Each structure stands twice: as structure tokens, then as C-alpha cells.
Amino acid sequence: MSTLQSPHIPVLLDEVIAALAPTPGAVIVDATFGAGGYTRALLDAGATVHAFDRDPDAIAAGRLWPETQGTPPRLILHPRRFSEMVAALAEAGVASVDGVVMDIGVSSMQLDQPERGFAFSSDGPLDMRMGQDGPSAADFVNTAAEGDIADVLFRYAEERQSRRVARAIVAARPLATTGELARVVRRALGYHAGAPKDPATRSFQAIRIHVNAELEELEAALDAAEVLLAPGGRLAVVCFHSLEDRIVKQFLKAASGAVAATSRHVPMAGVAPAAMFDAISKAIRAGEAELSRNPRARSATLRHATRTAFPARHSHSPSRQRTPA
């Protein structure tokens, strides 16, 4: 085992490893490397890991791991979006894998660095870019139309007063720091210190999801996992809010061959589609012991499933991500 330890506690680690059931020699994709918590456990089980992260800081830290050395290495790092798994692994000569794990959303490392601009607990530049490239959160809030900002707040955070917040953001432009944006949102929503939840949390979530095209990336990554997983391969996905979890749940329902319910008086037309996945779990959440040592796990939901032998529903196409505004 490496002496390099993850500075953050991976969420639902035991449950994820049980779902993946890694064995010596297995090839597994950690689609969201981050601080390497899942990868560490997979390597300790004897697996070879292809780890993806678009954040150059995470990749730089991973390159210090001894498992990246050797012939062949047991840890192969890919500084790419996880929606690009199929192309990246093809370039590495890998056609199929035994497992894929995804931990969706912003990482603790990113949240804990004020200079990355993901959180407003400490003031920092209004950035929020996971890959540290492309348009930033500041670019979006300072140039987007008021209606577009309102749509993002409503779609990705279900902010009921999205139009009021968007109007306030436009009136306060230009905004350069996380603290400035948080104060604008709080004033727009009448927030008072001591309230149970800071309303700026919703707006920050929505803008971050938009800037990084997170939901489109997730959809493309699920399609990629279906293509890459060998028969019997395991998929495990950890989500932290309902928008992500809904995408995963709907994907697994469709990929399991489930069809929409029809009236019992009307025969079902046609033949049920083939199941790409089976052994689909229910939502798994952290127990009290984990919550006591890692409060971040409170909002985490794990779903996992096993790939069948049926061919993928379609060959994987390039990422469906859109270019952030």
C-alpha cells in the first residue's frame, strides 16, 4: 500500500468497493479521480486503474503515486473529461473494462481551495472551472443575458426566485469574487444571518453545473460506461443531488429493458427491449457511523448495476457536452 494517503474521505467507500467487487488483475475506470480515494482501494485489491480527471491539479498529484511507474503501470492517468472514456481507452489499447466508478460533482479538494472559486465560505475569484480552462463563472454572470441566468438558476438549482436573483446579478455587474456574488444573491432573497441555510448555495450550485456542463457530461459518461463494460462488469455511481441521481436512475431503468407501464386492459405492443444492465441496486445511502465521521456523505446516493452480454444500444459518440456560456 502506498504511503501517500488521500487528504479527503471518499464517500460510501466500502459500499462502492463491494459493488465493484475488484479482483487481482481486473481493469477498472475511476472516472472521477480527485484525491484518489476509490483508486487507492482498487489498487490495494490488485486491480489496474485507469483514472480520469479534467482538473490538472488532481492529475499532477496522481503522478506522484508509485503505481504510475512500472511496466506496465497499475495506475494510468488520463487528464481528460470522463465523457471521453471510450476514445481515451481506445488510444491506450483497452477495448473493455471490468468496472467503472463515478463520483459526480465538485470534489472536496476543489471546494477547500478558495482560489478555485467553488465556494463562498472563503472569498476567492469567481471561477468554478473544474478543468481550469474555458469560460469561468465570472464570464457567465458578467456577460449572459438576464433571462439565460434565470433559466440556469431554475434548471440546475430549482431556484423559485430565479428571475429576481438574475435581475440582481445583472444590476450588480461586474462581479469578480465569490463573496460579491454571494452577497448579491443574499440581498435579492432577503437572507438574514442565522437562517438555517444560505440561499446563495443554490445559485452557486447552478452556476457551477452550467459552467462545467456537468449533467451533459454525466449523460455521456453513462453511455460510455455501457460501451466499455465487459459482460459481468460493474457500474457504480455516487451522486450528491437529485438532478444527478435522476439521470442515473432513468439511465439504469432504460438500460435494464424496463418499459413504461401500460393499462392492464391493453396488451403491450412489441417485444420488451434487451437489458444492458441487471442486478440494479436501490438507492444506497451512508449509515450513521459514516455520517458521524464524514458529514459530506449525508447527501450522497450510490446506485450500481451489472453489465449483461447484450451489445450496447449504440456506439459511443463524442461527448454531448455543450459549450458553457
Strands of 9-131 (E only): list them.
27-30, 48-52, 75-78, 97-103
CA nearest to 19, candidates 315, 265, 277: 277
Q: What is the pLDDT of residue 160?
A: 95
Please state the rounded mean pLDDT for residues 239-266.
Answer: 80
User: What structural domains does the chain harbor?
Assistant: 13-108+214-307 (3.40.50.150), 132-211 (1.10.150.170)
Residue 264: pLDDT band by 50, 70, 90 thresholds? very low
Quick one: pLDDT band at residue 5, thresholds 50, 70, 90?
A: very low
State residue 168 phi and psi, 5-degree precision. -65, -40
Mean pLDDT value across residues 303-317: 85
* pLDDT for position 116: 66
Of the ranges 1-5, 52-56, 114-118, 293-297, which is most confident?
52-56
Is it the case that residue 325 has pLDDT exceeding 50? Answer: no
Assess whether pLDDT exceeds 70 at residue 318.
no
- Taking the model in full, what pTM does it have? 0.88
CA distance 268 to 261: 9
Mean pLDDT of the chain: 88
Count Cβ atoms within 10 A of the Cβ of residue 64 and give its class: 0-12 exposed, 13-18 middle, 19 or more buried.
Answer: exposed
* Per-residue pLDDT at 324 exceeds 50: no
List the single range of 27-36, 54-63, 112-121, 158-167 with lowest mean pLDDT.
112-121
Report the distance separating Cα 200 and Cα 181, nearest Å. 8
pLDDT, tens only, 94-143: 999 999 999 997 656 655 565 665 677 778 999 889 888 889 999 999 99
Kindly write down the DSSP assignment for every residue of 169-231, as one continuous string. Answer: HHHH----BHHHHHHHHHHHHT--TT-SS-THHHHHHHHHHHHTTHHHHHHHHHHHHHHHEEE
- Encode pLDDT of 183-234 as tens digits: 999 999 988 777 778 889 899 999 999 999 999 999 999 999 999 999 999 9
- Beta carbons of 37 and 2 less than 8 angstroms apart: no
pLDDT for position 319: 43
